Each structure stands twice: as C-alpha cells, then as structure tokens.
Structure 1
Amino acid sequence: MTAPAAPTSAERRQWARYLVEERAEGAVYSRLAARKQGEEREILLSLAEAEHRHEQHWLEMLGGEPERLPRAGVRSRMLGWMAGRFGSIFVLALAQSAEARSPYDSEQHATPAMRADEKVHYEVVRGLAARGRRRLSGSFRAAVFGANDGLVSNLALVLGIGATGVSGGFVLFSGIAGLLAGALSMGAGEFVSVRSQRELLAATEANNDADAAAGDLDIDANELALVYRARGMSEDESLARAERVLTAARAGARREVTGPIGTHGAHDDHDIVGSDWTAALSSFLLFASGAIVPVLPWIFGLSGIAAVLLALLLVGMGLLATGAMVGVLSGGPPLRRALRQLAIGFGAAAITYALGLAFGVGAV
C-alpha cells in the first residue's frame, strides 16, 4: 500500500489558518455565553465545543501545535473584540454571515462531519440572531426610521430653503423648526401606532376562563370544544382537549392549559411590537439626532456653498452608517444597504434643492 503523501507547505499553512479561525470562533461563542444565562448560554457553549472539535482535527493534521501560527482574519478578530463589549445581537448577526461562507465545502481535508457541522452552526446562529431581532425589532424599527427620516427630511428642508437665496439665519431657523416639528410628530405618531397595536393584540388575547369554569358545566364536551375551534384548532383536537379539561376539572385537578396549536402567545406579539413609550422616545430622540446633523454647518456660522457641501458630507456619513447597521442586523450586505440609504437621501435633497433654485428669491 502506498503511504500517503506528505503535506505540502501550502497545505500546512492553510491548515494553520483553519486552526486559528476555529479557535477565534470558539472564543467568540465562549465570550457571548459568559454574558448569557439559561438556554442561550448552553447553546453558545455547545457551539464553542464544536469549534474546539474542529480545532483538534487541524491540530492532528498538523501533527501538533505549530511553532508559529498566523493571525486570525480581521472579521474574526473584530467579532472577538465585539463579543466582550457589545450586545450579542450585533455579534450574532455578523457571525451568521461568517457561518454562511464555510470554506470546508471545497476543502478535501475537512471531514464530512465538519462540513455538516458548519451548515448546522449557520442555522443555530441564525436562530439565536432571530431571537435578538425579535426582541429588538419594535424599538429598532422606530429608531432607524426616526434617525433616517431626520437626516433626509431636514437635509431636504435646509437645502431647499438655502437654495432660494435667503440668509443663513433664516436657514438655521427653518432647520431648528423642522427638527422640533418632525421630532414631536414622529414621537406622537409612534406612540399612537404602537399603543393602538398593543390594544388590538390585547383585545384578541385568549384566556382560560372557560377552562376554569369547566367543572360546573352541565353539558357534554362538544360545546366546550367550540372555544378551542374558535381559537384555531381542528375539530378532532378541540374535542380531545375539551374532554381532557372536563375530566381534570371534575376530578378537582385543574390542569395548566397552553395556547392553541399552531399559534403563539400574545406576550410574544407584544414583545415584537415593543413598548409604546420606548418607541415614542426612540423616534423623538433619533429623529432629533438625525435632524440636527444637516443644520450643524449653519449653527457654526457657515453659509452658502460651504455649508451645503458640509451638510451633504455629514448627512452622507449618517445615511451610510444607518444603512450599514440595518444590513448587519438583517443579515444582508451592509454596503448595499448603506448605498441604498445614501441614494434615497441625496435623491430627496436634490429634488428640494432644485425646487429652491427654481423658486428662489431672484425669481420672485
């Protein structure tokens, strides 16, 4: 039998890179686990243990710990730094993107189990990130919408007003007025919207009053089953559950009743919608923080084209940042989201600037 060929220098360097990446990923999951409790902690520790198994595979391929190892990639080092300092949602969102691009699919020295592990890891990380997104979605939606709206609307306002040829003081006054009006409107609108949605969910929330009174019923189980059919259960499931509830109630042992099959609890819906006050405050503050940016050049005494160019620069940076953040948290490409935000914002500002030029002081 022919002995296996000795690994080449290029192969050993590649295995060493795999080794340090597996260590870095395991460290990320361990640091995230240290900030968690309960089920999420156990899941993250299991992921870290899986990365340790992969690490051991490459150590065996290398014949032990090499004297020199390359540095982990920029993404892995950044995730490791973030894992010890920021909330897990940002780290998990970035880790989800990293797990989606497993190098083992084309690596002949990786085992089939390792390839399968990487695909499972992607789904696990995606599930954990989805939990965080659900908890964050209500206030995050209001925050991003508020900041972006403040940047775009006030930039469009001050550029449109400035293009008419009025004084810098008038542009500043218009920008501050737009900031206050927009922030108050956004806060009030978000409060009413979220409060109305929560009240609607509360009105549709199921309770177990019928189950509690089941012991006093003088009817057969079929009528009680209508309660569960109205909640979305099938006829057979409703009958079976009604019989169980009646049996337990008449025996004096009321049993815990869960929600309808195929639905989720109202509290989950409330968590997704978020708090009305949190959404209102987030919208107010984020709109104001966004809307102040295009006014800054005039606050510091600039005017004319210099103020316009600086406003465009500052707002452009803000739009890129909010777009990239949306991309990271949604698992999409951050650059594409950032450029989309930039194009929308500058497009709106260009329209109002053109209108300001058309209806400027000189044309009146």
Structure 2
Amino acid sequence: MTERKHRIAIVGTGGIAGAHATAVTALADRAELVAAVDVDPARAKEFAAEWNIPATYSSLTDLLAAEQVDLVHLCTPPKTHVPLAAECLAADVDVYMEKPPTLSLDEFDELIAAEEKSAAQVACVFQHRFGSGAVRLRELLANDVLGRPLVALCNTVWYRDDAYFAVPWRGTFDVEGGGPTMGHGIHQYDLLLSILGPWEKVTALAARQARPTQTEDVSMALVTFENGAVASIVNSLVSARQTSQLRFDCENATVELEHLYGYRNPDWTITPAPGHEDVAAAWSTGLPDVASGHTAQLAAILDAKAAGEPTPVTLSEARNTLELAAAIYASAFTDKPIRRGELAHGTPYAERMGGPGAPWS
C-alpha cells in the first residue's frame, strides 16, 4: 500500500514560510499544501498563488473549522507560538513549529502540558540535526568508533546591520525572546546538544557591542556535559565574515563542520588521531549526501508519523536546548554559573529569557 498524502497548512506566510513550502513540495509524493493562513489576507493570497495552494484563511481558527489537516507549520513570530500551537493541540492536529519554540521556559512547560492532553504532537524546527553528516556523527559516537567526546566548539558568527533591527519585534526579549542566543545561534548549539546530550553547567557572558537592540548582539558560554565533555559556544551578529562552525575533538578523531545556513557532506571534515586511520573509512563508507534543512526534518517527521513514533524534535528534546538558552542569559546577567534544572518555574529567568532585564537596559 502507498502512504496517503499528509494534508499540510502553513500559518504565517512571511520569509521563513518559503522554506517550509519548499520542503513540502520536495516531498510531493507524501505531502500536499492545502491551505495558507495569514492575518494579512493579501499576503496569504500572494503566497498561495506562488505555491499553488488552493485555500487561504485569515486565522488559524477559520482554518481548523473549515479544513481537515494533518500537520500545521507554524511560521509566525515567536510570541504567537504557544497560543497557536495550543489551539492546534486542542483540535488534535500535529504542529511543526519554527524556532525559537517559545519565549520562555515557563511558556514551554505550558506547551508540554497542552500536548499531554492532546492526541497530537509538537515538533520543533531544529533542522540541522537531520543532515547526513550529523546522523553519521551520532552513529559513530553511539558505536564507540570515535571514542569519548572530549572538547567541542560551536560558533555562530553572523552579521546583521542596524536596518535588520528596524522590524519592531526584532532585538527584543518580549517579542523575539532574545538576541542571537535565541534567534540565530540556537540552531548550531541544538545540533551540538543532539551530539553531546544533556548539558550540566554553563558559565556565560553577553554584551551589546554595536546594534540598536534591547538584547545582546554577542554571547559566549562555557558548557560542561553529563558525559564529561566540555564546549564553548559563541553567538554573534557583529561578525563581517559570517560562518557557522562546529568542532568535536574525540579520543579517536576530530570532526569539523563549517557552513553558513545549511550544510551537505563536503562541509564536514574528519581528522583521525594517530593510530585510528580507519575512522575516516567508517565516516565515509555508504554515507548518503542529505542536506540539512526543513526538507530533511519534514521527511523524518513523515517517517515517524507513518511508523507511529514520536515526531522529531519532541518537546522534551527541544526543552534541553531552550533551557540552555535561558541559562546563558541567567549566567551572563547574574555573573554566576547556572546548572541544568536550576531555573525553576516562576523564577525570573524561567519567566523571561532576559529575566529582570539586561544590565544595559
């Protein structure tokens, strides 16, 4: 039997919606776009015409009343994610939600509670987990080919000028959730966490070096992990030579990735330690070239739905990433190390990523 096509709607037809539409059309044998939703009806109609989508709506409520959909892609500003996702969950409709998933840990836990009452699930957009290089790296670590991970570097050093922050919700804690720690570097350090697992403690700093924002435009963190690995994380929006870099120094090899907004196999390099030259063959043998991106994650989501398994990335997995973001802010703004689990419900940095506010506010 052939798998039926999943009926998909995109809610929010701004810039990132194009990546979601591209992913669905790339998987046209398994999924179809049936509706576009935007508070601006003209924008929804323009998007629908571009992507040959048959129906448009001005609200999620109208969509859910009129259409039977299997999956809603939430591409709206971060402040709207929780109420819209909760509305989908109440209707037992699965959600694929853009980053950052929520503006705070407390909001995130509200979403977990809503999911527990629903037959549906929420998957968070952390697409860098799904490129073939990341999948192979996790395989080799799980099979002890690389030995223990020892040291890691994670750099998201990008450039955004002042004009970028002219959009009213950018560079704010209350609407965007934070600066590059939340809105830009989160993809890279989510990939880092998917490789190294639960983090244990973070010591961080944040600064507003140049941009007209309420938030930081640079953050730096030192992180320890439950498995004993240590890592540094840098998130920047003031770096003229833009790059995204990850490096994993393991007992038997160094594995490196350098790209910008998405990677393929040639963006990875592996350097065996002396006496472990066979690691290079273990890396490359039978390795497909699957690009990181929304298409790869959506394919994984459809695979999971077909198998009746949890849709990746689950809320419990994504919480580990969001908690690290909150801990970076808490450590930077209080000048103290923060341990995982320390930011309890109702405390300042669980209620709001920026806590009482940045030192410069």
Q: Normalised by the size of structure 1, how large is the TM-score?
A: 0.22
Q: Which has the higher strand share?
A: 2
Q: Which has the higher helix share?
A: 1
Q: Normalised by the size of structure 2, how large is the TM-score?
A: 0.22
Q: Which has the larger radius of gyration?
A: 1
Larger RCO of the pair (alpha carbons < 8 Å, separation 6+): 1
